[in-house]
Amino acid sequence: MKIIYLLLGLLSLTNILFAQGPPIYTDTPILLGLDGRGIRTFGKFISKENVNVYAQPLAVPINLGVDFQVGAIAPYMVISPKNKQSVSGFGDISVFAKYVFQQSDGPGKTIRTLIKFMETFPTGSTTKMPQIGSGVNQTYLGLVSGIINLKYALYGELGYSFVSDNTPDNFIYAASVGIPLLPQKYPPHQINIYFGFNGSYEFEVKKNVLYLSPGIQYIAGKKVLLETGVQLPVIEDVTSGFKTNYVFTFGLRVLLY
């Protein structure tokens, strides 16, 4: 009888993980399903005072076991300054690894935490103006944690980005809560709404950036997820002319196998 309860609990947990879906603007400690062996791509339109930026990143995560994941992110960018010619090309490429070191599962709920490493290489062009690449190496170390159950999902991330060439390092922080709107079922057909924030702080120059990040997500079965959201600046200590009006994203995730 205990084995039957265990199997039912694991089946319930799997359904929830599929139906909740990963958050839109915050990372997730769940390394399976639509955030496991698959492809994620999303268009990001950034509206600033003197320039518009369109980025189309392609992210490919691959699971190497249930607790370890590696992957790469390659963004294609179009930068359009006002009253100047647009510049386009591939930006800085990143590779990452994630390892889940804490996991506590129960019927209809899970709590997980992972450590995340990401290295960003200065592969984007810096010879054109405006520059597509940053021109610096960036090494990121962070912790990602999540609490997921039938009624809601809470996600949080804290990390530090080490930047080369005397460029200020960054402290990164983010949080998100997801709420499913439809009854849980399998295969999943679910609509999730997300509310959260994303921020960063540059220690040496004492600049803080904070965005509110609401969004909505539709899971169409076991292999396809559509999502969209907007980021609105609350605090943004940047040079005049580069202040953000809003950031709009529309994305797609596909599970390959």
All structural domains of the chain: 2-255 (2.40.160.40)
If one counts every other C-beta atom within 10 angstroms of the C-beta of residue 217, the result is 24
pLDDT for position 153: 95
The three-state secondary structure class of 139 is strand
Question: Residues near 53 by Cβ (< 8 Å), separated by ≥ 6?
Answer: 44, 45, 46, 77, 78, 79, 80
Averaged in consecutive runs of 10 residues, what is the pLDDT profile of the chain (257 residues)? Answer: 42 55 90 62 89 90 88 92 87 95 91 97 85 91 95 96 90 96 83 96 86 94 88 84 88 73
Contact 50, 81 (CB under 8 A): yes
Give the whole-angstrom CA distance, residue 147 versus residue 11: 18
Contact 150, 181 (CB under 8 A): no
3-state DSSP percent of the chain in helix, strand and coil, to 5: 10, 60, 30
pLDDT tens digit string along 169-195? 999 999 999 999 988 877 788 899 999
Contact 64, 70 (CB under 8 A): yes
115 closest CA partner among 93, 137, 95, 97: 97
Contact 112, 30 (CB under 8 A): yes
Q: Which helix (H) or strand (E) holds 8?
A: helix 2-20
Give the whole-angstrom CA distance, residue 35 versus residue 15: 14
Q: Which residues pair with 144 in a beta bridge?
A: 114, 157
Give the whole-angstrom CA distance, residue 18 versus residue 110: 13
Give the whole-angstrom CA distance, residue 72 versus residue 60: 6
Radius of gyration over alpha carbons of the chain, in Å? 19
Contact 179, 154 (CB under 8 A): no
